[in-house]
Each structure stands twice: as C-alpha cells, then as structure tokens.
Amino acid sequence: MTSPMPEALPSFFKRLPVAFGAFFSVLGNPVFAARVMALRQPVAAATAPAAAPTASVKLTPVAPPPMKEATPDAALQLLGLLQRDARLIDFTQEDLSQYTDADVGGVARVLHEGCCKVLREHFTLIPVRPEAEGNRLTLPAGFDARAVRLTGNVVGQAPFSGTLCHRGWRVTETRLPKLAENHDVHVLAQAEVEL
C-alpha cells in the first residue's frame, strides 16, 4: 500500500529556495550531505530496473555533531588587551561625526599600531592560502570548505577555478596571559579616578 499524497504539494517557486539551501548545506556540511545521500538511496533503488531482489536499506539517523560551547573568558581577555594597547573600545564608542577625516585618520594610525602589537604578542598568524591575492587557482575535489569560501557563480562540483580575492588567516599559536584567580574578565578597562 502506498502512502497518501500530501494535500498540497509545494509549487516550483516554494521548492526553489529549499533546493538552493540544500545545495549549499550539502557543500558546507558533510554530515548533512551524508544524510541527503542516505535519503536518495531508496529513490535510486526504486528507479532501477527490477532485475533481482535487493536487500532492504535500513537508514540510520545521523546525529549532528555536538556544538562546542564557547566560554567568553578568552574573548573578553582579548578585548581587554585591545583596549589596553589600542584603546579599541574607546575608539568604537566615540561619536566620530564631530571630527574631520584627518583627525580620525591620525587616531586610526594609533589604533592600528596598538592592534598590531596585540596580534604580534599573542597570536601567530599565517595566510590560509599561500598564493598572492589576484592570482588564479584551482581548488581540487575535497578541498577544505571550512578554510575556503566560494563566492560568485558557484555551479557544479570541484575542481573549481577562480581568482583569489583574500588569502584568509589561520591562527597557529595563541599566547594569552594567564589570569589570576580573582581577575574579573568582564572589567575590560578599569575606571580611572585622579586624586
């Protein structure tokens, strides 16, 4: 006995965004791709010529990978370092509409130097891709989609050829200072009172 058809099948225009969403989810999420492939197996078996009886396919639900819980301490510590050495929070909380572009440019130079100092002291950064920006490159099948994002007219399957717009950044080492037991990471910059 066949299962009854749904009363209202989605129209082409309702299926179109679902198809695009599924396409990009399959490209970016191997667990989702495996689930889609498992769903397609019975369809492929049903459309194949009935030559010989086949064993029934038992689908095993694939659990999504567990999400890592991020603790805010390291992020708050980094934000505190950027405030200490670059005055980043002061800069972003300031209303810049009253200043000229030249004034803002002078402050941006100090901000840039302070941010660079923090990054150099506490992180080792390398580009994700070794090629120079603007170079043409080919991404083979199985490229790391966590490290490379495709943009533009993404059609078909790898290999993909394109122009490197941004090399990306990867952290190879983190050197954040150890925190004292009673240190409050939520206080990013102490208030200052002159006596």
Q: What is the pLDDT of residues 142-185, one digit of tens each?
A: 999 999 999 998 888 999 999 999 999 999 999 998 988 899 99
Least confident of 24-33, 104-113, 157-166, 182-191: 24-33
| Average pLDDT of span 104-122 | 94
More confident residue, 86 or 11: 86
User: Is 182 part of any domain?
Assistant: no
* Cα R_g (the chain), whole angstroms: 26
Asked whether residue 3 carries a pLDDT value surpassing 90, the answer given is no
Same domain, 39 and 102: no
Whether residue 53 is preceded by a cis peptide bond, meaning omega within 30 degrees of 0, is no
Give the residues across from 127 on adjacent strands.
169
User: Is 180 part of any domain?
Assistant: no
| pLDDT of 14 | 61
Same domain, 167 and 77: yes
User: Is 181 part of any domain?
Assistant: no
Same domain, 126 and 89: yes
Cα distance between residue 53 and residue 11, in whole Å: 35
User: Is 22 part of any domain?
Assistant: yes
Asked whether residue 5 carries a pLDDT value surpassing 90, the answer given is no
Same domain, 63 and 137: no
User: Is 193 part of any domain?
Assistant: no
Same domain, 54 and 17: yes
| pLDDT of 39 | 75
Same domain, 89 and 157: yes
User: Tokens 């993909």, residue?
Assistant: 160
Same domain, 83 and 170: yes
pLDDT band at 11 (very low <50, low <70, confident <90, very high): low
Tell me the residue type at 15. Answer: R
Range of the domain at 78: 73-174
Same domain, 21 and 89: no
- 3-class state of residue 97 by DSSP: helix
Same domain, 107 and 159: yes
Asked whether residue 19 carries a pLDDT value surpassing 90, the answer given is no
Asked whether residue 120 carries a pLDDT value surpassing 80, the answer given is yes
User: Is 114 part of any domain?
Assistant: yes
Among residues 153, 150, 164, the alpha carbon closest in space to that of 28 is found at 150
Same domain, 84 and 124: yes
| pLDDT of 184 | 92
pTM score, whole prediction: 0.59
Which of 26, 42, 68 marks a domain boundary? 68
| pLDDT of 35 | 77
The predicted-structure confidence for 30-88, as pLDDT tens digits, reads as follows 777 777 777 776 544 445 555 454 555 566 777 888 888 878 889 999 999 999 999 99
Domain count across the chain: 2
